Structure 1
Amino acid sequence: MLPAVLPKARIFTYDWNANYFADAPVQTLFGHADTLLSLVAEGRGSQTRPIIFVASCFGGLILAEAINRAAQEGSAYRHILLSTVGIMFLATPFHGSDAAKQARWQVVVAGIIGEQVSDQLIQDLEQKHDFVRQRVQKFTEIVNAEAVRLPISCFFETRKTEMLRRILSPAWAKWLAMGVTHKILVTESSASLDGFSRQGLDTTHSGMNKFQNPECPNFKLVKDAVRQFAGNASTVLTRRTNSAVERHWIVPFGRNKEFVGRETILTDLLTRILPSGDEHDCQRTAIEGLGGIGKTQIALEAAFCIGDTHPDCSVFWVPAVNATTFENAYRAIGQQLKVPGIDEEKADVKALIKAALSRQSTGSWLLIIDNADDMKLFFGDTALADYLPFNQKGSILFTTRNHELGLRLVESESRIIPVEEMSRGEALELLQKHLKGDQMGDTRSNGALLEFLASLPLAIRQASAYMAKKQTSTTQYLELCKTSDEDMIELLSKDFEDRHRYKSIQNPIATTWLISFRHISGHDPLAADYLKFMCFLAGKDIPHPLLPSAGKLEALGAIGTLKAYAFISQRNESDTYDIHRLVQISMLSWLTRKGERKEWTAKVLQRLVDVFPFPKHDNKEEWMRYLPHTQHALQLRKRTDDEEVPPDLLSKVGTSFYNLGKYQEAEQMHQQALQLSEKVSGQEHPDTLTSMNNLALVLRGQGKYQEAEQMHRRALQLREKVLGQEHPDTLTSMNNLALVLQSQGKYQEAEQMHRQALQLREKVSGQEHPDTLASMNNLALVLQSQGKYQEAERMHRQALQFSKKVSGQEHPDTLTSMNNFALVLRSQGKYQEAEQMHQQELQLREKASGQEHPNTLASMNNLGLVLQSQGKYQEAEQMHQQALQLSKKVLGQEHPDTLTSMNNLGLVLQSQGKCQEAEQMHRRALQLREKVLGQEHPDTLTSMNNLALVLQSQGKYQEAEQMHRQALQLSKKVSGQEHPDTLTSMNNLGLVLQSQGKYQEAEQMHRQELQLSEKVSGQEHPDTLTSMNNLGLVLQSQGKYQEAEQMHQQELQLREKASGQEHPDTLTSMNNLGLVLQSQGKYQEAEQMHRRALQLREKVLGQEHPDTLASMSNLGLVLQGQGKYQEAERMHRRALQLREKVLGQEHPNTITSKKNLAFCLRAGRARGFTS
């Protein structure tokens, strides 16, 4: 019927087979576009004959893609585009269906082609939906371009198609609702293009290109549109001819087929740089970023996109590397535009081109000024900025590393598009473009390499070029990079071929940045100094106060310059900066080649000495900010004994690590400080002796007591020799030596040393001097360790009184005295007084230092311990929980003080019978102590012992025994057989052997421990008396009652003499003596002993203390043994009620009370007693 409508028209048809979609359906579909163009070009003859296209369904997508390809720069089919005077689309699914996202193509394709044939096409269209959308968008941009302005009519169906007739049998289909079985396949919204006419046809999808006769209403609508296209053909072609201005293309590179990603930037850029974007102005836009970030490649892709979509727009490319490249590019433009006089010898080329491009007759153009980095080039003597054209049909795009220059060129921040690193996905895709699959087999190495290269496109391109050439994998290349900075800078400096970059400029990333380094050095010396300085620091979070001092305005300008070149970035609303690691390495290499690295190393280290404060808790925030940068600068030294490093800086870093509980790192730093100080100043210099003292302190912190003792003895001898016995530093060494002796259990020698230090300090500084009071405190502590509680208490009282008088009640030293005084009160069983003292100290600490100060947390721990000693387990648990949480927050999970809190919480959980929780807590503490402190540290061995004890309380005797044996062996190795900690391990092993019925081995262990304890600490020491008690218990377990009774009698007498009748330990001895008397049937004596123990425990510890309840239970048992059932029942009931209240119903002791009461009731009934 069409021949009748257009009798003189030549009509061609092009059909395609839907069964060809087996492998790559969308590519196959769009692949028909090239075939269509080829056939049209071959069959049309004359290239001036007007063309009208009618496309149905998917054929419309093929035609749209054919128009896209005809519009491409250099396309042989451009004449087809310029000859097309109209296109009619019949139900073309430009946007799929209106169904949900996951089914937007399924409805269309399945309905048109059928389910079996269409599966592959549906899946591929779903995956490439965005790609199809982009191609349709590009088509609309081309046909709307001023040079094309192509008339289009879109027709859509209005009747529903029976969807399921191809899929289901009629028998099934009839049971489904009409809304399910019938659908509009290509809706109006999908079949229409915005801005073009649209018309509905009264038919189903299959009838859109089938008409019954010339009088059919649908055909009349289509016929009228075709006639209109034909009638307007000459007008359309004439308009194109009249408005056509010769288009020019001067771009030095071909399209980069390996360009990936950057969709967001490209989309933004293409909307800004269109010459038609602002009809009243000449557009100016800049893309800025670090060298190697990909600015040139983005500009190149943008140029080709504009060329594709705006056939009437000329594109000119000008490299602004220097004045010569700029002028040569302008000359090439003039030659193509045939500007008169352009080739004359004395021609002002720049002025001529500015004038030519400023004329309206030149038409639309995009001018790309690449590498606009040099401020002097544009605004100095050469003043290239004066030669930039102005044309309302023109647009200028700059690429720059220099934000300040970019801002001057475009005059508004809103016209600058910053370019950041590629996303990880984009970077990976770029890497894959150049490598084979087996070179990228290790996913982890791929990610690590991209992170190492900071996802910089040029660095990735350079790395991939090397790997492709050498046939190495990403894993191997990453290992090369990490070998040394020298190897990496060599890799970063290797040139490589890239057809999309300037041949006259070297491609390596290091060379690219070198150009910027030189620019900065030339016009902003302070910025250059800042950049050199930052290259010695950690790359992240660099605080401004670390940088060399300068005037505020000058410093602000220097930071602005570095930010402008994108070498650094400023963190949000802060005075801290980040710098690329690759920039740092390149800068260090440059300094090395120039012979300036040693000079700058010295400058940086001296600056760090000047600004790094002595580390204390009060200034922790400050030194914590500086620590990673100082650490990094120190690691860049060639040798650890480098004389340029001030020992004071090493000492400050070592003390910082010590405060953080990182003892190994602290030891390394103090060791280096000592070696360097000995080398520079000599062994006897005061600074060297200070380094020696500091190293000894950190050795003690790690439990390396013997090494620490040797170091302190050496420091003391040298200080006595150099400074004299009465010098404050000498007395400090004396004090520190005494402390490490005390840590080893050498109490007598430690006591002598502390007494000597105290006497000398009183003589030199006076009785009230803080150092004198510290000695007084330390002497009291060693007295306490020996069980000399009364003398220790007097000493602590005196120190506390003096400290309050001299420093005031809230001074940290006063609070330390208060804490120590409370500890000795607790050791004597004066729990209430100790609790009050700890409460007062904690309140004052919180007021003076805040809740999160480490000293406050220590007070919290000590208060928890005294609460636990009184049986106030819930309060103690809450206190330890709070201390642990705060310690994790303030000090970190692995700090030794945090692990102490963890240990104490485990102890109080165990006391409440929460054995599983306690076991988990002790296991965690042990794992972390082994990791942080090492397996042989005393604190680690304490955790090992405590874990073994909680295992023992759960009946896991074998595991507990193994744990105790391991702890004992390590303690003997580390501290020696006679150390108090070793004797504690021996005692614990004896207890677990006893629990398993291994009485003889247990007895031997306890006898050996008792002998050693008597030898080391004396017969009256609390630890010796505990050994005596345990030996008595194991004798009792074997039925050796008389010997056990003698042992307990002796222990009780010594306890009463050493600690007094009311000390909790004395009352425990009393209780145990009562038990062994009871075992021998000496009920009256046992009853008297238990009544006395109960009365005293109620008086000293209170009625609800667990030990009081134990006495109550034991008294009940001995009454029961004598047949005093009624009194025994009352005692058992009372013990049960209080245990349920204090310990809870499920505590093992509560369960024992229930059993005791039940047994008492049964025994009483059997003998005629009723309750």
Structure 2
Amino acid sequence: MALHHFGDAYSGFQAGIINGRVDHPIYFSNTETPPNPSAFIPFRRDPDFVDQETILDQIHHKCGRPGSRTALVGLGGVGKSQLAIEYAYRTREQSPETWIFWVHASSAARFEQSYRDIADHVKIPGRRNPSTNIFQLVHAWLCDEWRGQWILILDSVDDTGFLFDASTTGQDEPTNHVGGRRARQLVSYIPQSRNGSVLITTRSRRAARHLVEESDIVTVEPMTMGESLALIGKKLGKQDNMDSVVHLAAALEFLPLAIVQAAAYISKRSSRYSVRQYVEDFLKSDRKKASLLDFKDGQLRRDSDKSNSIIITWQISFDYIRHSRQSAANLLSLMSFFDRQEIPEALLRRRNEQANAQRDDKMGNAGDHGDEADDDHSNGDGDSDGSEYGDDEFEEDILTLREYSFISVIADRPSFKMHGLVQLATRKWLEAYGQQEEWNQRFIMNLDAELPTGEYENWVKCQALFPHAKSAMWASILYKAAWYARGLGNWAEAEEMSVRAMNVRIKVLGQEHEDTLSSMSMEAEELFLHVLDSRKRVLGPEHPETLASMGNLASTYWNQGRWDAAEKLFIQNPDTLTSMANLASTYRDQGQWKKAEKLEIYVTETQGRILGADHPSTLKCKAELALTLWNQGRRSDAEKVLGQEHPDTLSCMANLGMARRHRGKLTEAEELETRVLEVQQRILGAEHPSTLTSMANLASTFWSKGRWKDAEELLDQATEISKRVLANLAILEVQAIETSKRVRGKEHPDTLTCMASLATTRRHQGRWHEAEGLEREHPSTLKCRKA
């Protein structure tokens, strides 16, 4: 501190003359050397960043203009901040003389703290003076072109309200009136200077438009498949099972935050957990899916105020929409129950009077939330009866959801689509508020009112609404949709949708009503346990419906991979295995080889343990499995199941050879047919009918290849054997006729059957007169033979 002595020269207004010595302290600030241009970025560069060159090129182009403002807009978790971080580091590499500043702009408090951090970083004089307007100080520094080039990144400007609310600044500006003060909006402290550019990240397109021109908005979409696979590869390393990696990227809808979450979850479990296991767990149920998406590790370059859980990330936006525009939150709630691909506008506009009243009550209770909230009370130009809400209101709600990237419009059709994960997050959000069932019922009522019955003339409308009926949980809707599916011959989905109707029947009819019990779904173990207990109590343990429930529960255990539990029930109810075998046969007939194979393997192994490896049912299942494998082209696997010389294996080979011949693949056909013939001659003998058939097949192939002599020799050989076999057969049949006449009589049905058989043999031998004689002798023989 220095002392200045004014002597008797100091005088003040109204102070008079001071004749004595005056000591007045003056504080000098320490002189600070201004730093060189540098980057003030609170995050390290991401070594796993995946190049998205198109977007980065757009950012570079727009931010390269003097005084520009650019906004990155996209769904939460799509990677906007990561793009801004990468752009900042690239700019520093290319232009070391450029300052980079990062501002956390999610709230007024964080905005102010960031400005103070900038002031400290560049060492602006006077910044520590409590009376200093820090915003004005930083703004003036940035607008001084002598300071050089800079880029100011405003991160997470999802709500611009605090920027335009003068009451949030905490700073006053003097007016022209003596002693008067006025507030100044924070937005005015975001500089527009030729020596700097502003880059903004936000989830809201509306917020972006408050700060930049529409042409300066860069929309950030989810990654491409290739980019997603590259990100997974960087996070988890090279994977052997690329199919699982592809499925993972698709299941997470190519969203970077979700992918990073999943990779962190998998890495945390290291060698005991794989990508395939994650995908299987993810697809098990919505509950499991939500649990995995709530995992909060993985993203180190994310603001501490932001959650690493993509579910919570979106739910914060849901809360904001509910606060600012209740009707838009209601619309989002309704849309979350539709099939995500094509949500018809007509079903969204439909509102019944009760739903409208509930919505208006909620909006009334929400209080005044500014101009946007006030708009929600407008009826617009809609119908006055309350059945639909107005066009203006609906369009404003749609616009709100579009601006947060929660929905998108389908071109040329009055429909919308959503991310499936956004729908899941919305339903979990509703569940937390205790409103999931309410909006589910609202969706159901709208859909049920629009969905017609399944007659052919309604198929066009059914086709449009069918995917949404599959998402519903309402008996009437599902019945109508199942009717339509049945008309198409889609039996699997018809059955599935029919049984799901039980959820409503429980509420309407009671848990032990016969209609409820008959419609219990195979999807939930706890439901089948209840059904089984109820049917045992109501119908008895031996009742067919009780046994059917036992089979359904066993199938549920099987689908869960709980083999031991399933097997115990199969032992109690062997018919269930038969049902599963029949289902496998149906899958095979439909060409669904993998589904058929999975069932047949389990049935074969289970029957082998329960009934024995040589039991006829086990052997039959083996044959069915071999056929399924053969139809997939897996010949060696099929042969392993039955053995190379099993009759069913030979039958498959013979059929395949015939198919190859018909398709002109004669060499392959000859190879197969020769192999079949050799085995049959050795195992069955030269005179067996199957052997003779195989000789004829091979002769046909020789003929098709132009090997006339080989074909003729083989046919001659088969003819001679056939004559000998038929002669022997005729002798046996004559003996059988004589014996039957003697024991049972000439008119006994068994005698007549033998005579008909002999007549057939005579015809095969070409002995037509003898065959006709038998038929004339006993006219009923002909009738018997035809039967």
Q: TM-score range, shorter-chain basis? A: 0.5 to 0.7
Residue 477 of structure 1 pairs with residue 278 of structure 2:
yes
- Do the aligned partners of 1:1032 and 1:1047 also contact (CA within 8 Å) in 2? no
Residue 775 (structure 2) aligns with: 1044
C-alpha deviation, 1:330, in angstroms = 1.6
Per-residue deviation at 1:1002?
10
> Which amino acid is 1:614 matched to?
T
TM-score (norm 2): 0.55
Go from structure 1 to structure 2 and tell me whether the alpha carbon gap of 1:247 and 1:675 turns closer, same or farther (over 3 Å shift).
closer
Aligned to 2:490: 662
The one-letter code matched in structure 2 to 1:320 is A
Distance change >3 Å, CA 655–CA 1042, structure 1 → 2: same
Output the CA distance in 2 between the equivalents of 1:479 and 1:353.
53
The offset of 1:445, in angstroms, is 1.5
- Structure 1 residue 259: Cα displacement: 1.5
**Could you tell me which of 431, 456, 474 is aligned with 2:255?**
456
Q: Corresponding residue for 2:311? A: 510
Is residue 2:441 matched to residue 1:610?
no
Instruction: Output the CA distance in 2 between the equivalents of 1:1003 and 1:421.
Output: 82
Deviation at 1:369, TM superposition (A): 0.8
| 1:471-620 equivalence runs, <5 A | 471=270, 472-496=273-297, 498-549=299-350, 550-620=389-459
Partner SS, residue 483 of structure 1? coil
Cα offset, 1:315, TM superposition? 1.4
* CA distance in 2 between partners of 1:517 and 1:375 (Å): 16
Q: Quick check: 1:253 aligned with 2:28? A: no
CA shift in 2, pair 1:374/1:961, >3 Å = farther
* CA distance in structure 1 between the aligned counterparts of 2:334 and 2:261, rounded to whole angstroms: 27
* Among candidates 155, 174, 199, match of residue 397 of structure 1: 199
The match for 1:429 is 230
Is 1:294 matched with 2:95?
no
| Aligned with 1:273 (options 63, 66, 73) | 63
The alpha-carbon deviation at position 514 of structure 1 amounts to 1.7
In 1, Cα distance between equivalents of 2:115 and 2:507: 65
The offset of 1:357, in angstroms, is 2.4
- State the secondary structure of the residue aligned to 1:368: strand
Counterparts of 1:618-657 in structure 2, within 5 Å, are: 618-634=457-473, 645=474, 647-657=475-485
Q: Distance in 2 between matches of 1:504 and 1:1036?
A: 92
How far did 1:1051 drift?
A: 8.4
2:189 to 387, 392, 398: 387
Q: Work out the CA distance in 1 between the residues paired with 2:733 and 2:472.
A: 57
* Matching residue of 1:10: none
Q: Hey, what's the Cα distance between the residues in 2 that align with 1:675 and 1:568?
A: 29
Amino acid at match of 2:250: E
CA offsets 1:53-79 (integer angstroms, 9 cap, x no match): xxxxxxxxxxxxxxxxxxxxxxxxxxx
Q: For residue 417 of structure 2, what is the amino acid of its counterpart?
A: D
- Report the Cα distance in structure 1 between the residues aligned to 2:490 and 2:734, rounded to whole angstroms: 41
CA distance in structure 2 between the partners assigned to 1:578 and 1:664 by the alignment:
26
The count of aligned residue pairs is 498
Task: Show CA shifts across 1:134-158 (max 9, x none).
Answer: xxxxxxxxxxxxxxxxxxxxxxxxx
Equivalence for 2:120: 335
Instruction: Tell me the amino acid that sits aligned with residue 257 of structure 1.
Output: P
CA contact (8 A) 1:313 1:366 kept: yes
For the 8 Å contact 2:156–2:201, the answer to whether it is kept is: yes
Q: Is residue 1033–residue 1044 contact of structure 1 (8 Å, CA) maintained in 2?
A: no
Distance 1:443 1:630 in 2: 34
> Structure 2: which amino acid aligns with 1:569?
S
2:54 corresponds in structure 1 to: 264
Question: For 1:410, what is the secondary structure of its paired residue?
Answer: coil
Distance 1:514 1:1035, change over 3 A: same
The one of 155, 162, 173 equivalent to 1:370 is 155
Higher helix share: 1
Alpha-carbon distance in 1 for matches of 2:323, 2:220:
25
Deviations 1:1000-1047 (A, max 9, x none): 999999xxxxxxxxxxxxxxxxxxxxxx99998677666242342467
1:408 to 210, 213, 218: 210
User: Following the alignment from structure 2 to structure 1, what is the Cα–Cα distance between the partners of residues 255 and 408?
Assistant: 15
Q: How far apart, in 1, do the equivalents of 2:343 and 2:692 lie?
A: 53
State the alpha-carbon separation in 1 of the partners of residues 260 and 338 from structure 2. 27
Structure 1 contact 287–419 (Cα < 8 Å) conserved:
yes
Q: Offset of 1:426 from its aligned partner? A: 2.4
Where does the alignment leave 5 or more consecutive residues of structure 2 unmatched?
Answer: 1-33, 169-184, 351-388, 520-589, 593-626, 633-651, 663-672, 678-687, 694-721, 737-754
Tell which has more relative contact order, 1 or 2 (C-alpha 8 A, sep 6+): 2
> Structure 1 residues 299, 1047: CA separation in 2 closer, same or farther (over 3 Å shift)?
farther
Matched position secondary structure for 2:128: coil
- Deviation string 1:254-293 (CA, Å, 9 cap, x unpaired) is 222221221221122112212xx24xxx211111111111
Q: Distance in 2 between matches of 1:1000 and 1:629?
A: 70
Find the partner of 1:467 among 244, 260, 266.
Answer: 266
SS in 2 for 1:354: helix
**Which residue identity is paired with 1:408?**
H
- Distance in 2 of aligned mates of 1:679 and 1:999: 71
Q: How many angstroms does 1:630 deviate by?
A: 1.7
In the alignment, which residue of structure 2 is the partner of 1:765? none
Residues 426 and 673 of structure 1: is their aligned pair in 2 closer, same or farther, counting only changes over 3 Å? closer
Structure of greater Rg = 1
* CA pair 659-288 structure 1, distance change in 2 beyond 3 A: same
User: Aligned runs of 1:935-954 on 2, under 5 Å?
Assistant: none
- Native 8 Å contact 1:546 1:626 kept in 2: no
Structure 1 contact 369–398 (Cα < 8 Å) conserved: yes
Is 1:314 the counterpart of 2:314? The answer is no
Structure 2: how far apart are the matches of 1:577 and 1:377?
32
TM-aligned CA deviation for residue 314 of structure 1: 1.5
User: Distance between the aligned counterparts of 1:318 and 1:620, measured in 2?
Assistant: 56
Secondary structure in 2 matching 1:537: coil
Preserved CA contact (<8 Å) 2:257 2:299:
no
In 2, the alpha carbon distance for the partners of 1:532 and 1:999 equals 80
Structure 2 contact 160–210 (Cα < 8 Å) conserved: no
Q: Structure 2 vs 1, CA of residues 464 and 337 (structure 1 numbering), >3 Å: closer, same or farther?
A: same
Deviations for 1:476-513, whole angstroms, at most 9, x for unmatched residues? 32233233322332222222264422234332222211
Provide, for residues 497-537 of structure 1, a one-character-per-residue CA deviation record: whole Å limited to 9, x for no partner.
64422234332222211221112212222322232223223
| CA–CA separation in structure 2 for the residues paired with 1:533 and 1:648 | 19
Q: Secondary structure of 2:267's match?
A: helix
Q: CA offsets, 1:436-466, max 9 Å, x none?
A: 55xx332222221122122221112222222
- Which letter maps to 1:301? E
For 1:397, what is the secondary structure of its paired residue?
A: strand
The one-letter amino acid of 2:251's match is: F
Q: Does 1:444 align with 2:444?
A: no
Percent of paired sites with the same residue: 32
